[in-house]
Each structure stands twice: as structure tokens, then as C-alpha cells.
Amino acid sequence: MALVYEYTENESLDGFLFRDKSTINWCKMNDITVGTAKGIAYLHEECEQRIVHYHIKPGNILLDQNLTPKVTDLELAKLHNRGSSRMLPTWFRGTLGYAVPEMWKPYPITYKCDVYSFEMLLFEIMGRRRIHNPNLSESRQWLPRWTWDMLQNGKLLVMVSLCGVLEGAREKALRMLKVALLCIQYKSEARPTMSTIVKMLDGDMEIPTPVSV
């Protein structure tokens, strides 16, 4: 028996974010973000049974010749009946830094764990760096905290500029950061669904103000 996958010439997204691959311009990176969100939304909302991935991270987003994203590596995935809102994993799943806080506690979790992981990925796409970098100043080490502080101080546009986003794309970048903050809310019920995230990223829906991180 064998699994046959489509060949993806550009390998995984982490090569463009964290290694010395050719840089993807920000507008194309935004397209990759939206495409990844649509892929996860399909797993959650369009399959006969909801598929919870558990392992969303840059290394599991493959890019074809046209840099179209493919959500891959479903070895930790779990089928979940739509009629039930919660599940209880029997062991820790995912990668440290991307896994939802609920994974560390003996509490039932929901498919929103993928929402949390996707938004950690989104922060890294925005910053073109790992979610945590101990070599930076304390205020900038953890990307979600830095983003939250900049939002609270009315300096989110400054952060976007520091991330190297050109003026014409800054509105989309601001939208991306606000969505990211909204989707790492501590309570899973406060996090939007992936289909809602797609609409917010595309500008088809207003983004609520996040409560905290």
C-alpha cells in the first residue's frame, strides 16, 4: 500500500519563513495565508465528518509551483462528529508553540485548537520569524504579546511597518494581525470558525475587537 501525494516543488512554508529560501513578497504571502485558512475550513466544515488536524504549523503547509498552499501531514488528525462539540485527547498532540493551551490540561477541547495553531502560524507569516525569539528585546520576544501591546498603544501600524510591509498592503496586514489576536483568545468559544476567519481576512466581515491574549 502507498500514499500518493501531489508533488510540491517549493516544499514547505517554513523554508521561506525561517531558512534561506527566496523571499515571497507580502501580497503572495497573504494569498498563502488565505488559502491555508480555506483548507482548514474545508476540513472543519465541508467534509462529511469534521477533521481536526491538531498539527498546523509552517512545516505542514506545502507549496506547489505556483505557491498554492496544501495543508498536509494528517497523522495526528481525528474525525469528529458534528453533533458533538467537544473531544478529549488521550495524549498531547501537536508541536510546542503551536498547540492550544487546552492541550496541557485534562479538559475537553474543541476543533478550535486548529484555529489557535493557525493564528500562531499567521503571526510567524507576518513577522517572518519564529513565534518566540529570546534574542530580541523582552517586549518583542513573543509575537502575540508584542502585537497586543502595540494594539493597546495605538501603534499597530508601526509594527506593520517594522515587519517590512509596504504601504499598499498595510490594510491587509492590519487585518491579519487583528484576526490573529482574535483567534488566540484563551476561551475556545471566543475564537471564530475558520470560515469566519476567511471572510475577515478577505475583508468581507468586520473584525471584532479582541478582549485579551
Residue pair 100/177 in contact by the 8 Å Cβ criterion: no
Q: List per-residue pLDDT tens for the chain, 213 residues long.
A: 887 878 899 999 999 998 876 678 888 999 999 999 999 999 999 988 888 888 899 999 999 999 999 998 766 556 665 555 555 554 555 565 666 666 666 666 788 889 989 989 999 999 889 998 889 888 889 999 999 999 999 999 999 999 888 888 899 999 999 999 998 887 788 889 999 999 999 999 999 888 776
| Domain annotation covers residue 197 | yes
- pLDDT for res 202: 94
Q: Is 8 part of a structural domain of the chain?
A: no
Q: What are phi and psi of 113, to 5 degrees?
A: -60, -35
Write the CATH number for 195: 1.10.510.10
Residue 5 lies in a domain: no
User: In angstroms, what CA-CA distances link 83 with 86, 102, 106, 111?
Assistant: 9, 21, 22, 13
Residue 211 lies in a domain: no
Q: Identify whether the C-beta of residue 199 lies closer than 8 Å to the C-beta of residue 205.
A: yes
pLDDT recorded at residue 106: 62
Task: Report the alpha-carbon distance of residue 11 to residue 22 in Å, rounded.
Answer: 12
Contact 36, 194 (CB under 8 A): no
Determine, yes or no, domain membership for 210: no
Cα–Cα distance, 166 to 170 (Å, whole number) = 6
Query: Which stretches of the chain are assigned E, i.e. beta strand?
Result: 50-52, 61-63, 69-71, 78-80
pLDDT at 55: 84
Which range marks the domain in which residue 154 is found?
A: 14-201
Residue 213 within any structural domain of the chain: no
Does residue 207 lie in a domain region? no
> Where does residue 97 fall: left (phi above 0), alpha (psi -120 to 50 degrees), or beta otherwise?
left
Within 10 angstroms of residue 4's Cβ, the number of other Cβ atoms is 5
Domain count, the chain: 1
* Whole-number pLDDT of residue 79: 61
pLDDT at position 103 is 65
CA separation for the pair 103, 14 (Å, rounded): 23
